[in-house]
């Protein structure tokens, strides 16, 4: 873990877990014990397990394959600080592990509602790491401007409130797939955060889970080495349904119209104090995986932004 995180920070994180509290120095220096990085009983072990999974995945992908690690995707973690509920940065470990496996050109694609500031911090100056992020504009961590480019291989697309399935399809076909085709990565890491769907309380985007699944399906065609991570998601029903569908897409399993009773029982057993912003969960959250499509207009502002990125690609090439 010292390949990315500082020894002092790792020691502080483990000490906070042991003590169940933090000192003022830990809070100030490492961001621990704050509302966005709270103390909890497994605050080191849990993210360390996800980080270990990403390290393992990088080793396994020495050979072609597809790996799904939904507990991963903690893309905000900084070398010496916890950041945005992310104590360790497992996507960074995945990329470093792939490199250790001899894979040089790696693409990182992030469709979480929030910009992956930690991953960008680590690789924005590495020409062999392509970074593509589609995230809500004017949303924490308030990074990832359209104009940012790293050394030419960073592609940010901040999207407006109400971002819909039609617009995501345009982004997929107009930005994500062309950039991957041009870059020709040896491996792809896809962070598939569930907080961009309409029901999530921490974003104001309007995607259905169909949009995520379509991105996964198309990205999967672009490589023979793929690691799909989880990420954000703060509505347990939409998270579970979306990531289960991701697993189905990766395994080429048809998603049923109606769930089996055992699966329905799992969803009905979930509890969430913030459910649907105070409303009772609709019945289809228990009985189905697939949302109704949330299509709409491709707004002018989206067309302009995609056009700016297309022009940049022409100039850069």
| Catalytic (active site) residue 76 | yes
- Band the pLDDT of 279: cuts 50, 70, 90: low
CA dihedral (256, 53, 232, 145) positive or negative: negative
Q: How far apart are CA 32 and CA 13, in angstroms?
A: 8
pTM of the model: 0.97
Helix (H) or strand (E) holding 314: helix 300-316
**Catalytic annotation, pick one of 5, 30, 75, 76:** 76
Q: How far apart are CA 300 and CA 184, in angstroms?
A: 30
CA dihedral 151, 86, 43, 60 (to 10 degrees): -50
Is 304 exposed, middle or buried (CB count within 10 Å of its CB: 0-12, 13-18, 19+)? exposed
Residue 198 pLDDT more than 60?
A: yes
Q: Which two tokens stand for residue 171?
A: 């982004």
Nearest to 130 by CA among 150, 153, 149: 153
Helix (H) or strand (E) holding 91: helix 90-100
**Rounded mean pLDDT, 256-273:** 94
Q: How far apart are CA 114 and CA 117, in angstroms?
A: 9
pLDDT tens digits, 118-167: 999 999 999 999 999 999 999 999 999 999 999 999 999 999 999 999 99
């Amino acid at each position: 873990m010292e390949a990315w995180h500082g020894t002092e920070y790792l020691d502080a994180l483990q000490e906070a877990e042991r003590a169940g509290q933090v000192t003022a120095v830990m809070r100030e220096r490492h961001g621990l014990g704050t509302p966005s990085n709270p103390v909890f009983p497994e605050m080191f072990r849990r993210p360390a397990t996800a980080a270990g999974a990403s390290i393992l995945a990088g080793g396994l992908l020495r050979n072609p394959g597809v790996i799904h690690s939904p507990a991963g995707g903690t893309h905000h973690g900084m070398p010496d600080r916890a950041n945005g509920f992310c104590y360790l940065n497992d996507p960074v470990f995945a990329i470093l592990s792939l490199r250790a496996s001899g894979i040089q050109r790696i693409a990182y694609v992030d469709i979480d509602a929030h910009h992956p500031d930690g991953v960008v911090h680590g690789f924005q100056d590495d020409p062999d790491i392509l970074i593509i992020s589609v995230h809500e504009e004017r949303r924490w961590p308030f990074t990832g401007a359209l104009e940012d480019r790293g050394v030419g291989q960073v592609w940010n697309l901040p999207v407006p409130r109400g971002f819909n399935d039609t617009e995501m399809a345009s982004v997929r076909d107009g930005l994500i797939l062309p950039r991957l085709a041009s870059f020709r990565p040896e491996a792809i890491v896809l962070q598939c955060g569930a907080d961009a769907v309409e029901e999530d309380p921490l974003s104001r985007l309007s995607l259905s889970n169909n949009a995520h699944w379509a991105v996964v399906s198309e990205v999967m065609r672009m490589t023979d080495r793929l690691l799909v991570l989880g990420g954000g998601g703060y509505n347990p029903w939409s998270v579970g349904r979306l990531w289960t569908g991701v697993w189905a897409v990766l395994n080429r399993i048809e998603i049923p119209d109606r769930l089996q009773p055992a699966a329905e029982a799992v969803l009905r057993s979930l509890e969430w104090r913030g459910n649907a912003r105070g409303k009772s969960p609709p019945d289809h959250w228990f009985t189905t995986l697939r949302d109704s499509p949330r299509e709409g207009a491709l707004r002018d502002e989206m067309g302009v932004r995609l056009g700016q990125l297309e022009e940049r690609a022409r100039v850069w090439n």
